Structure 1
Amino acid sequence: MRTLVFDIGNTAVKYGCFEANGLQETAAGLTLEQMPATVERLRPDHVLVASVAEPTAAWAARLQPLLKGRVLEFGPATTRLPIRNAYASPRTLGADRLAAAVGAAWLRPQHDTLIVDAGTAIKCDWVEGGHTFRGGSIAPGLRMRFEALHKLTGRLPLVDMPAAVATPLDLIGTDTPSAIRSGVLNGAAAEVNGLIEQYQALSPRLAVVLAGGDAPFFQPRLKGHIFVIPELVLLGLHRILVHNVEN
């Protein structure tokens, strides 16, 4: 079975095409208008559309005539899942957080897992026992922190991420841009390491899975053994689609 999943974000669309459980093709930066052409080119059996940005009904209706199978709109509060969702307010839960939890549970069944999804926001979410999504935390992402310092102050400049994200950072900034980089980047790494330590106190055998666009920055800066799975959200969306098609 070939599946195609679309992850509609705040700024662009990412897609993943799977054969069985193997990711065959993925790309980011797609526009909504390019989605039908992607379906026609890849010719999937079934499609899933998930969004953290806007309703998906119109896009599902537009894509359905292009294939014989099913177009599933993923709603965290309404779509059947292969795991239990214990979040107290499922209607406010981001599709990306829940999809990442499904992906982690499929990869590590019967194990506690902490997901660190470092993208527009930094989300740390706990999957208990490989079967239950419990929730976690949401904090501003790296670029959001840089932008907030610039926009919410009178004189601080807008500072960019370093070109080589794995380059060691000075702790002590010697001018305003380097001080901002130290505060944002070293501070974010220390924040996530602190959260990991707290979760490890709850579950000493906890596995940590790192995903998201800023994973390359965090990977060398997080303590302990980290599983880096950049396409965790796409994998979770694929498993959700398969679960609904087969059950």
Structure 2
Amino acid sequence: MRLLVDVGNTAVKVALERSGNISVISAAHIPWQKIEEVLIAQVGGNEGLEPILHNAHLHQIPHYFASVSASLGALKCAYPEFKNLGIDRWLTVVASYHLFPNKACIIVDSGTATKVDVLGADGQHQGGWILPGLDMMIESLVANTQKVFSDSTTSFDTVLGTNTPNAVKNAALSATVALAKQAVEQIERVGDEVQLIYAGGYGELIQQHLDPSGIYFDDLVMQGLVFWRKYQQNV
């Protein structure tokens, strides 16, 4: 059994993987006696990760930090300076490549930031965009303008706002959806069929307003970790 650890900007998520099955659990309920190795995707700081590493050391369990590479089998990274690509983005690309082989994929991962990545049907990562997440957009606007405000009760939508919270929240969502649509249009221009993949805390919301036929994953980075590890073991 493996322990999968996703260290994000705002939270640390952990999951168990056994025979390809992934189940998200609480960090307080890790069955350390059954863990054979720990796989880590780290974007955020060490504070939430340190107790996990401490326990892994106590139980003499090896741990591995996932890293970005220029290629992973037939999968190729778009960045010439591949180490500058965030590991969370790379792992979502890795997972998508394996979940949807020989298919062009657009990955919309929306949390603290919104990341849109494009993967060609040939396994070539074509690059992507990074946009402030919905909450960050709103917080930045409210903090730096007068008489512009939001609230915690107004729902997100893409229609024109008829009050200030509507206008602020709907603009943030509309901008995010429009960015993802631009990626879809670029892929469709070359005639490739597109598989839309959603992830992150706002992934399902964007799915509703962009294309509900796409697929949402709450463990896409975790799945990427598993596939990444398989490559390391076969090298």
TM-score (norm. length: structure 2): 0.85
State the partner residue of 1:48: 39
Provide the rounded CA distance (Å) in 1 between the counterparts of 2:149 and 2:12: 30
Structure 2 match to 1:236: 224
CA contact (8 A) 2:154 2:165 kept: no
Residue 189 of structure 1, aligned match among 177, 198, 201: 177
Question: In structure 2, how many angstroms separate the alpha carbons of the residues matched to 1:111 and 1:170?
Answer: 29
Q: How many residues align?
A: 233
Q: Name the amino acid aligned to 1:52.
A: V
CA shift, 1:86, in A, is 3.4
Q: What's the secondary structure of 1:50's corresponding residue?
A: strand
The verdict on how the C-alpha distance between 1:161 and 1:122 changes in structure 2, with shifts beyond 3 A counting, is farther
CA shift digits 1:174-202 (9 cap, x unpaired): 22122212222233223322332223223
Distance 1:68 1:21 in 2: 23
Runs of 4 or more above 6 Å deviation = 55-60
Q: Is the 8 A contact 2:77 2:126 kept in 1?
A: yes
Matches within 5 A, 1:61-140: 62-67=54-59, 70-77=62-69, 81-82=72-73, 83-129=75-121, 131-140=123-132
Q: Aligned with 1:6: secondary structure?
A: strand
Aligned AA for 1:46? E
SS of the aligned residue for 2:14 comes to strand
CA displacement at 1:64 relative to structure 2:
4.1
What is the RMSD of the two structures over their aligned residues, measured on CA atoms? 2.9
Give the Å deviation of 1:134.
2.9
Evaluate the alpha carbon distance shift between residue 89 and residue 191 of structure 1 in structure 2; reply closer, same or farther with a 3 A threshold. same
Q: Which moved more, 1:88-97 or 1:55-64?
A: 55-64
* 1:174 equivalent in alignment to 2:162: yes
Superposed displacement of residue 15, structure 1: 1.5
Using the size of structure 1 for normalisation, the TM-score is: 0.81
Secondary structure of 1:97 counterpart: helix
C-alpha distance after superposition, 1:33-69 (max 9, x if no partner): x6xx62626x222211121123699678635434555
Q: Are residues 161 and 240 of structure 1, via their aligned partners in 2, closer, same or farther at CA, if it must alter by over 3 Å?
A: farther
Distance in 2 (alpha carbons) for counterparts of 1:194 and 1:11:
28
Q: Structure 2 stretches of 5 or more lacking a match?
A: none
Contact 1:103 1:232 in 2 (8 A): yes
1:154 to 146, 149, 153: 146
Percent identity (aligned): 25
**Cα pair 1:6 1:16 within 8 Å, conserved:** yes
